[in-house]
Amino acid sequence: MYKQCVVFSPITFLSCICLIYLGWFLCMPGGGLFVSAAAHEKGPHFSIEPTFDLPYNLHPRSYFIYNTTPGAQIIDRLRVTNDGDVRGTVSFYAVDATTAQDSGTMFFHKEDAKHDVGAWISLSQQELTLNAGQSSEVAFTVTVPTNVRPGQHGGGIIAQDLTTHTQKSTTQLNSVEIGLQSLLALGVLINLPGPVVEDLQATGVSYDSGSNYQRVLVDLQNNGNQLLYPSGTLQILDEHKRTLQDLPLSLQTFLPQTSISYPVYMQKIALTAGKRYTAMVHLIYGHEHTLNYTTLFQVPFPDRGPLNTVVQHLIPASTNSGDFFSQLTPWHYGIAIFLLFFLISACFFWGKKISGWIRQLRTKE
pLDDT 10s digits, 84-115: 999 999 999 999 999 999 999 999 999 999 99
Examine the domain organization and report whether 114 and 212 are in the same domain. Answer: no
| pLDDT tens string 173-186 | 677 777 777 899 99
Q: Is 259 helix (H, G, I), strand (E, B) or coil?
A: strand
Is the per-residue pLDDT at 314 higher than 90? Answer: no
Does 365 fall in a domain? no
Does 212 fall in a domain? yes
Examine the domain organization and report whether 162 and 275 are in the same domain. Answer: no
Does 99 fall in a domain? yes
Q: Which CATH number characterizes residue 279's domain?
A: 2.60.40.10
**What share of the chain in percent tops pLDDT 70?**
78
DSSP 137: E
Examine the domain organization and report whether 215 and 182 are in the same domain. Answer: no
Q: Which of 117-131, 139-153, 162-176, 289-303 has the lowest mean pLDDT?
A: 162-176
Count of domains forming the chain: 2
Examine the domain organization and report whether 159 and 289 are in the same domain. Answer: no
| pLDDT tens string 27-68 | 444 444 333 333 446 788 899 999 876 555 556 788 999 999
Examine the domain organization and report whether 183 and 121 are in the same domain. Answer: yes
Examine the domain organization and report whether 177 and 219 are in the same domain. Answer: no
Is the per-residue pLDDT at 26 higher than 80? Answer: no
pLDDT tier at 364 (50, 70, 90 boundaries)?
Answer: low
- Report which of 27, 42, 41, 123 is spatially closest to residue 87, judged by C-alpha positions: 42
Does 140 fall in a domain? yes
Examine the domain organization and report whether 103 and 210 are in the same domain. Answer: no
Is the per-residue pLDDT at 326 higher than 60? Answer: no
Does 87 fall in a domain? yes
Classify residue 261 by burial, with Cβ atoms within 10 Å: 0-12, 13-18, 19+: middle
Domain boundary (169, 192, 215) is at 192
Domain boundary (254, 275, 298) is at 298
Domain boundary (273, 298, 323) is at 298
Examine the domain organization and report whether 187 and 237 are in the same domain. Answer: no
Rounded to an integer, the average pLDDT of 268-286 is 96
pLDDT tier at 220 (50, 70, 90 boundaries)?
Answer: very high
Q: Which residues contact 52 (CB under 8 A, 6 or more apart)?
A: 58, 59, 60, 61
Torsion angle defined by CA atoms of residues 201, 204, 209 and 211, in that order, rounded to the nearest 10 degrees: 20
- Residues of the domain holding 220: 200-298
pLDDT tier at 25 (50, 70, 90 boundaries)?
Answer: very low
CB 148 within 8 A of CB 256: no
- Segment holding 18, helix H or strand E: helix 10-26
Does 95 fall in a domain? yes
Examine the domain organization and report whether 277 and 212 are in the same domain. Answer: yes
Examine the domain organization and report whether 206 and 289 are in the same domain. Answer: yes
Does 358 fall in a domain? no
How far apart (Å, rounded) are the C-alpha atoms in residues 35 and 169?
8
Q: What is the pTM of this model?
A: 0.69
Does 113 fall in a domain? yes
Examine the domain organization and report whether 244 and 294 are in the same domain. Answer: yes
pLDDT tier at 126 (50, 70, 90 boundaries)?
Answer: very high
pLDDT for the residue 52: 74
pLDDT for the residue 361: 74
Alpha carbon of residue 44 to chain centroid? 23
Examine the domain organization and report whether 187 and 204 are in the same domain. Answer: no
